Amino acid sequence: MKILVANRGEIALRIMRAAAELDYQSIAVFSEDDVSSLHTKRADEAIPLKGIGPLAYLDIEQLIAAARETGCDAIHPGYGFLSENSEFAGRCQEEGITFVGPRVDTLEILGDKSQARVLAQKCGISLMSGSLQSVTLEQAREFYSTLGDGKDMMIKAVSGGGGRGMRIVNAMDELEEAFTRCQSEAKAAFGNEAVYVEQFMSPARHIEVQIVGDGNGQVVHLHERECTIQRNNQKLIEVAPSPGLPTELRDRLLADAVLLAKEVKYLNLGTFEFVVEADTKRKNASYAFIEANTRLQVEHTVTEEITGVDLVQIQLQLAAGKTFDELGLDPENPPSPSGFAMQVRVNMETIEADGSVRPGGGTITAFDPPSGRGVRTDTCGYVGYQTSPNFDSLLAKVIGFSPSQDFSQTINRTYRALSEFRIEGVRTNISFLQSLLQHPDFIANRISTGFVVDHLEELVKMDNTVHQKLFF
């Protein structure tokens, strides 16, 4: 089997490694300003694309032509870019190329976040009030005016994810600028400027459920991930499973995710995301479905660590026609989770006291990722790499895992791994991540999606203290 990887950076490397372990060939593509990206060297062959920045990776016909030229059987879209684009999946189908992901009809329903809300409503799953289709600026204004005092609104891109094309609106005079920026970001990142609106729950936690479907109605969940620690709606830290989540609430979330996936006879990997009342210990704590991600998630790593399941290999094997029985997946007996795993996102940026973000690109002059028992680093960095401001700032994902039921052991292992991570030549958020991991409320699991904003001043002050640096 030969697979074109329609992506770049660390996720392209992750897919290529999984393919190689299955004895599949991988083909890389790269834009004109991405020649030195490491994925071009890890593939069996690399094909140049015309254009620079994300637009090159959003060019459906160029990608289809590259797949045809190299005789590829399948295309893996990774995450972001065209990973949830039904038009792209449809073109693959027309050309007889397997799209490694859900079917076109599933992408049309779940890849469109507003249509996913329609499905959830049909299944009787709780939603925040909001639109069931994309909206105009005037329609967004009308909806916001119905919320009443003290309630905020979220504007979200219909396509894609990763925090792009999303803004919280706290006042009517903020709405037009937020709406315009969401459209612009969504167009640039996903090729679709459509947005929808919904009421914003605060304080809340962000919990997502990982599922796998065989396309015939069988669905197995691989437990949940806690994705509550975010900055500007972009996840910074993800944990699996969610520490301290009551069993009854966990079971309800898992059951709703499986129900949604069964309703569309889901094929391949998917994630169903929920906002959950911040005080999860309260009896009958409320929650609401917010969206589905019809692709591999950035944070798939933590699920792999607690279950021992290689999610990317599962994707590729399902695309190759393997059955659940052949893959050892049983919907009635999901793999039991072991301990806790945590992923922290090392971005090329620093965070200022006022919450502003200072980009940190340049040429990497030193790069020594952490390793050892219970530590994993997924990265595209290397010494001499000239980073590009045209792409996402994510440089590495550091994953700490401990089989212990004591969550603090996973925190400590991840903190120490960050202390061992030597990066020079570009600014990163490593010390900010260390400050998060050392904050007493984070350690005690007293968190919400507003945690970073609520504690920004003290986190930045901690950021200016000397964290451990376990390298020369």
Residue 93 CA to residue 111 CA, distance in Å, equals 17
Q: What pLDDT score was predicted for residue 464? A: 67
The label of the residue with tokens 């659940």 reads 324
Cβ 49 vs Cβ 57: under 8 Å: yes
Q: SS3 string of 154-175? A: EEEECCCCCCCCEEEECCHHHH
Q: What is the largest CA-CA distance in the chain?
A: 59
Task: Indicate if the alpha-carbon torsion angle 141, 144, 149, 150 is positive or negative.
Answer: negative
Residue 37 CA to residue 78 CA, distance in Å, equals 16
Question: Smallest Cα–Cα separation from 41: which of 395, 320, 380, 335?
Answer: 380
Q: What pLDDT score was predicted for residue 105? A: 97
Q: Interior CA angle at 394 toward 54 and 176, to 5°?
A: 60
Give per-residue burial for 434-470: e unless 16+ CB within 10 Å, then b.
bbbbbbeebeebebbbebbeebbeebbebbeeebeee
* pLDDT block averages, 10 residues each, the chain of length 472: 98 98 98 98 98 97 98 97 95 98 96 91 95 94 92 89 85 95 91 92 95 98 98 94 95 98 98 93 88 96 98 98 98 97 97 84 97 98 97 97 98 98 97 96 96 92 82 95
Q: What is the pTM of this model?
A: 0.94
DSSP 22: T
Cβ 343 vs Cβ 398: under 8 Å: yes
Residue 394 CA to residue 379 CA, distance in Å, equals 9
Residue 246 CA to residue 274 CA, distance in Å, equals 15
Question: Smallest Cα–Cα separation from 127: which of 200, 35, 53, 43?
Answer: 200
Beta strands in 258-370 (DSSP E): 267-277, 287-293, 340-347, 349-351, 357-359, 366-368
Residue 1 CA to residue 322 CA, distance in Å, equals 13
Beta bridge partners of residue 366, listed in sequence order = 424
* CA quadruple 8, 11, 13, 17: dihedral, nearest 10: -140
Question: What's CA 425's distance to the chain center, in Å?
Answer: 27
Q: Is the peptide bond before 77 cis (omega within 30 degrees of 0)?
A: no
Beta bridge partners of residue 28, listed in sequence order = 5, 46
Which stretches of 338-455 are DSSP H helices? 407-420, 430-438, 440-443, 451-454
Q: Interior CA angle at 393 toward 61 and 101, to 5°?
A: 40
Which residues are tagged catalytic?
295
